[in-house]
Amino acid sequence: MALQDLSRGGFPDGFLFGAATSAYQIEGSGFGSAGLSHWDTFAATPGNVVGGEDGRRACEHYLRWESDLDLIRDAGMDAYRFSVNWARVQPDGQGRLNAEGMDFYDRLVDGMLERGLKPYLTLYHWDLPAALSRRGGWVNRDVADWFADYARLVTGRLGDRVASVATINEPWCVAWLSHFHGAHAPGLRDVSAAAHAMHHVLLAHGRALEAMRAEGVKNLGIVLNFEHIAPATDRPEDVRAAAREDAIYNRWFIEALTKGTYPAEALAGLERWMPGRWQDDMAGIRAPLDWLGVNYYRRALKVHDPDSLWPAIAETPGPLPKSSMGWEIYPEGLRHRLAGLARDHVGDLPIYVTENGMAAEDSVLGETVDDAVRLDYIDTHLRAVQAAIRDGANVRGFFYWSLLDNYEWAFGYDKRFGLVHVDFATLKRTPKNSYHALARMLRRNE
């Protein structure tokens, strides 16, 4: 059975196992005098989210955080990756502090330490204060300074106890998915807004690193998402379309961070829409990282779309088994990505798999959930991590996405990624078979 012949002993000494979540997806943004974020307003606009669902209540983690942390400890995990909701600590995104919100994170971090869990803090997992969104959000260059001030504020309070700080989660989603595809808040479909956001999200990361380093905050990184992108056929136009997608999705951020450049295939369409003198910012964007976070879920097959403007790419379903997101399951892509990042970009820098997991159609039967398909997914992806380590990647940890079933953004509560099932009527938590199997694996050390 999956996971049965894996154990901690198969990973390097000190390798961390954890689970990941994000604030908007689990906390309940309606609790604790938080300000509105652009996800609250996006979700309240017809047509944006399945069923018009929002994160105002979510999993009520704001109220149930202690028993949620117990679940992580009881699984034998070493670390917990969580995020801070910016509008919870600064309701207007700048200035006024919501003491109640900051106290919540203070208690949460102490709660992790009391349970022997290392706190892995992410500063931005998509919940931009609505007040800043109204001022242009990621399209406005000032966002870099707003974000650096916020980073300084949060780490000024929590920085003495967290094990690591990530600036931004998945900048591709923050910028491209949200300003070009319009699928996430703020829901723009505008190439110029997208080009500005693609640059400003990195500028904000660089400014925040500088601000936090000046205050002595340690172990700073960023979390990028990668997909295994391949052409659906060997026709030259499909091969070129896949290369364009790869440049926008997989190469834009890592090349800026490690080489101080953007890929030519992406600039070919974006350069005319970029903010003026963007080149002057690249030295700050390239500031050294202490670690890199890698989120990986799937393979995506691309074709040229002759009916579309640049970048003229369409996706086509592949033949592999899929998660309930419709995402092809392809663990080899994780091995390939981790090894490639080490070889071509970050050398020996510590890499963490900060998200990996799958959505499945889980239902509670008796007192548990039979999610054999998820167990298999975790098994094959952990083996891919082991293979990447053998290939030379310095992978130091693995965080399953996600601890709990939660708000899957524009899909509402439809997609279940959790190790722990959540009944969204009662909010009862039921650990799935994958939770129990992972816990057994983490107790083995042979």
Query: Is 170 a residue of the active site?
Result: yes
Q: Position of tokens 């109640």?
A: 100
CB nearer to ligand IFM: pick between 258 and 295: 295
Please tell me the distance from the alpha carbon of residue 328 to that of residue 168, in angstroms, as a whole number: 26
Please tell me the distance from the alpha carbon of residue 84 to that of residue 156, in angstroms, as a whole number: 13
Question: Per CB under 6 A, does 249 bind ligand IFM?
Answer: no
DSSP string, 249-312: IIIHHHHHHHHS---HHHHHHHGGGSPTTGGGGHHHHTPPPSEEEEEEEEEEEEEE-TTS-TT-
In angstroms, give the least distance from the CB of 129 to ligand IFM. 18
Please tell me the distance from the alpha carbon of residue 418 to that of residue 154, in angstroms, as a whole number: 27
In angstroms, give the least distance from the CB of 414 to ligand IFM. 12
CB nearer to ligand IFM: pick between 26 and 217: 26
Query: Is 355 a residue of the active site?
Result: yes
Identify residues 354-383 at the interface with ligand IFM (CB under 6 A): 355
Position among 120, 400, 401, 413 found at the interface with ligand IFM (CB under 6 A): 401
CB nearer to ligand IFM: pick between 362 and 408: 408
Given 53, 170, 255, 328, the catalytic residue: 170
Binding marks (x or -) toward ligand IFM, 3..42, rule CB under 6 A? Answer: -------------------x--x-----------------
Binding marks (x or -) toward ligand IFM, 281..310, rule CB under 6 A? Answer: --------------x---------------
Tokens of 205: 């990361």
Given 227, 255, 355, 408, the catalytic residue: 355
Identify residues 403-422 at the interface with ligand IFM (CB under 6 A): 408, 417
Binding marks (x or -) toward ligand IFM, 221..240, rule CB under 6 A? Answer: --------------------
Tokens of 345: 């970009």
CB nearer to ligand IFM: pick between 104 and 401: 401
How far is residue 206 CA from its own chain's centroid?
18
Q: Position of tokens 């009391």?
A: 114
Tokens of 399: 């965080």
In angstroms, give the least distance from the CB of 98 to ligand IFM. 23
- HEC string of 125-160 equals CCCCEHHHHCCCHHHCCCHHHHHHHHHHHHHHHHCC
Q: How crowded is the C-beta side of 136, counted as CA atoms within 13 Å?
A: 14
Give the binding site for ligand IFM (CB under 6 A): 22, 25, 170, 295, 355, 401, 408, 417
Residues with catalytic function = 170, 355
